[in-house]
Each structure stands twice: as C-alpha cells, then as structure tokens.
C-alpha cells in the first residue's frame, strides 16, 4: 500500500484530490485536520466524507482514510513524538496544499499560512525513509507583477507582488526549490484561479472567482458594470488540478518539473466575455440577474472608494476588497502551459475548455445562492 499524506484536504484542491486518489485501491490516505469552531476533528472528517460520497466514495474507500488531528504549521505537524515517528516511517507520498487563499492577510499572517506550513512538511519529507514523491501546490501568483509570458520553470524574483498571499507563496516555493536542490523528489504545481468541478460545478469552498462574479454581473452595484480592460481571467477546474496532482504523485520521473495548471493565453476568456456569459446562466439557475449596464472603466476606478462608502452594509466588504483585484489589471501576463499540457496528455488528462464547464460552475453556484437566500 502507498501511504499518502494530504494536507489541505478541506480546501478547494485537496477536497477534489482525495476522491481521485481513492480510486486506486492500493492507496491509503492520512488527512491532517484541525478542529474548527464548534466542530471537532472527527466531525469535520465526517462532513468531508459526506461531501466525497457525491463522488461515489463509500465504505470501502473511507476505510482507507485515516483522519489525524494535527496542525501543519506546528513542529512535528502538531503530533506527539510517537505519532510523528510512526507517520514518518509509513509515509511514501505527500501532497501538500494547505494554505489560506486570502488576498488581504497581514505579512505575518501570510508567511505563517504559506512558509510556516511548508517548512514542517519539508522536514517530514527529508526525514521519511520511504518517501517516493512530494507534490507541492504553489500558485501562478508567485510571478507577481512580472509581465508577459510566465514560463514553466523556476522563476527569478519578480519586480513586485500584488499582495502578501503572492509574496508568501513565492517565499514558500523558494524553500521547496532549496529542498529539491538537496535531493527531494518534488514536483511544483502552479494552478491559476481554482473553481469547481468541470462536470458538476461541485466545490467545497467558493473562493475568489465566485466573489468576482458578484462584481462582473453587477449584483453588488445595482447592475452597473464598467467596460473592462482587455484582461484575461485564467480559471481552472478543481478536478483537472486534482487529476494532475494524482498523476504526478505516481510518476517519480516528473520530479523537478513545474506544471502550470492553467487555461493559458489561448484558453482563458476576456473579463468582458464573463460579463456577457454569466448573467444569463445565473438567471437560468433561478438567480435572476438583469443584463449589466455598462459605463467607462476610468470612471469606475475613481468611483470605487465612494461605492465602498455608500453601498449597503452587506455589499461594502466586496467593494473594499475590489482594489486588490483591480491591481491585477495593470500587467499583461499569461501563464505558458504548453509543456504541462503535453505532459498531461501522456497521462490521459485533457484541459477542459472554460466555455464548456462555465455552465456547470454557475448552475452549482446558483443552487447554493438560492439555498442561502431561502
């Protein structure tokens, strides 16, 4: 049996990765979880199993899951010395994806979330005598404010970053490369903006893309939406990312590679295309969304602070966070993924087209919105 430690199993990628890994009967999973307000680790584990049951997982699969209470940001992963020693002996593969995806963290909080959770995992990997592979979930955001095409390789320091999430993930990725230089068999994955399943839209968490939809459809601004710069929004479904990570875990020859899990320049859509496509899809899903009313981009940029001040209380947070997204509209950047797509093709993993999976995303999101409203 392979023993795979998965960190971040309750995240957007980790929650999609677990059912993919469980398809292999020779894989046993160790999930490191923390308790949450009002929920024990055991309760969180049961909640996750209910979520994974929608993927066809049942008793046979769940019997190969071991939920362990720990903290990936602590020494020995928050485990006792005996439990840590047992895990170190048993683990053969590690998929490390634990980190908060928040754009408004303080520098200290961001470093604790990214670097602070990566160093203990690297130490475990270095000490594990039977380790065959470590797959690390980074982000295309490590390129920061670099313009032009971002290549599938170890990057030079960018001229700057848009936020502390990017800078902390870049610092963590540098630590991963240092461990790779010392001989650890590591593959680095850089997903773009992760969304729901390409077939069902299913996701455990609605992250940045879904908050952005509220802006792109005018749902937070009385249907008013600016005419946006010719900027492409690169999104990628969580099942594609999960399949890529699972394939990489079983392929030691992929060590040392960077996989850009993104739609790329040719596959991503312009922001204005989302403005056209999404409102009818929301309306079809029962969330009535009138066609947006458009106005000049230059006017909008200066109006954001005012809108944040006068918007209804439940909408102000969206406008306060909007400048962090608008900062991305200053550089023409795309993430080269040609080598990645060729590599994944050999594993039988095609890149889904955004136009094809967008309806499923919006249908799932619409259903969740209606349930929240009612």
Our measurement of the distance from residue 171's CA atom to the centroid of its chain's CA atoms, rounded to an integer in Å, reads 17
Q: Are strands 258-261 and 186-191 parallel, antiparallel or unpaired?
A: parallel
Mark out the alpha helices in the chain (DSSP H runs). 14-21, 41-53, 59-62, 81-90, 107-127, 164-181, 208-216, 238-249, 264-267, 271-284, 297-310, 313-326, 338-346, 354-373
Q: Which fold has domain 2-202+234-267+334-353?
A: Rossmann fold (3.40.50)
DSSP structure string for 202-257: --SS--HHHHHHHHHTTTTTTTEEEPPPS-EE-EEEHHHHHHHHHHHHT-GGGTT-
What pLDDT score was predicted for residue 319? 67
At residue 374, the pLDDT reads: 42
Locate the domains of the chain by residue range.
Answer: 2-202+234-267+334-353, 208-229+269-330
Residue-by-residue pLDDT tens, the chain, 374 positions = 899 999 999 999 999 999 999 999 999 999 999 888 888 999 999 999 999 999 999 999 999 999 999 999 999 999 999 999 999 999 999 999 987 777 677 888 888 888 999 999 999 999 999 999 999 999 999 999 998 999 999 999 999 998 888 999 999 999 999 999 999 999 999 999 999 999 999 999 898 899 889 888 988 878 889 898 888 899 999 999 999 999 999 999 999 999 999 999 999 999 999 999 999 999 999 999 999 999 888 887 777 777 667 666 766 666 666 766 777 766 688 899 999 999 999 999 999 999 999 999 999 999 998 876 54
> How much is the pLDDT for 208?
84
* C-alpha distance across the termini of the chain, in Å: 46
CA–CA gap between residue 36 and residue 50 (Å, rounded): 17
Handedness of CA 226, 229, 232, 233 (dihedral sign): negative
pLDDT at 318: 65
pLDDT of residue 236: 97
């Amino acid at each position: 049996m392979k023993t795979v430690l998965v960190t971040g199993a309750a995240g957007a990628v980790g929650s999609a990765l677990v059912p993919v890994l469980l398809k292999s009967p020779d894989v046993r999973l160790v999930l490191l979880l923390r308790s949450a307000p009002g929920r024990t680790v055991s309760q969180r584990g049961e909640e996750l199993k209910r979520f994974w049951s929608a993927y066809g997982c049942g008793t046979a699969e769940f019997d190969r899951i071991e939920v362990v209470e720990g903290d990936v940001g602590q020494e020995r992963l928050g485990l006792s010395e005996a439990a840590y020693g047992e895990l170190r002996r048993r683990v053969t593969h590690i998929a490390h994806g634990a980190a908060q995806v928040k754009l408004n963290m303080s520098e200290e909080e961001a470093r604790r979330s990214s670097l602070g959770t990566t160093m203990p995992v690297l130490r475990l990997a270095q000490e594990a005598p039977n380790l065959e592979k470590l797959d690390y979930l980074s982000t295309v955001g490590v390129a920061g404010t670099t313009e032009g095409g971002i290549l599938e390789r170890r990057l030079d320091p960018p001229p700057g970053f848009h936020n502390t999430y990017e800078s902390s993930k870049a610092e963590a990725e540098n630590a991963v490369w240092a461990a790779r230089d010392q001989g650890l068999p590591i593959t680095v994955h850089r997903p773009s903006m992760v969304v729901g399943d390409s077939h069902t839209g299913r996701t455990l968490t609605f992250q940045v893309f879904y908050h952005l939809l509220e802006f792109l459809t005018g749902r937070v601004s009385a249907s008013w939406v600016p005419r946006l710069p010719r900027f492409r929004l690169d999104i990628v479904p969580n099942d594609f990312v999960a399949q890529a990570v699972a394939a990489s875990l079983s392929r030691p020859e992929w060590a040392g590679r960077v996989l850009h899990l993104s739609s790329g320049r040719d596959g991503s859509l312009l922001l204005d295309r989302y403005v056209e496509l999404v409102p009818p899809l929301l309306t079809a899903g029962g969330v009535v969304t009138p066609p947006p009313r458009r106005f000049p981009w230059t006017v909008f940029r200066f109006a954001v602070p005012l809108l944040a001040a006068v918007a209804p209380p439940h909408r102000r947070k969206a406008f306060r966070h909007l400048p962090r997204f608008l900062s991305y509209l200053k550089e023409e950047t795309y993430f080269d993924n040609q080598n990645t797509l060729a590599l994944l093709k050999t594993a039988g993993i095609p890149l889904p087209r955004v136009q094809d999976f967008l309806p499923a995303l919006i249908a799932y999101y619409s259903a969740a919105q209606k349930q929240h409203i009612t």
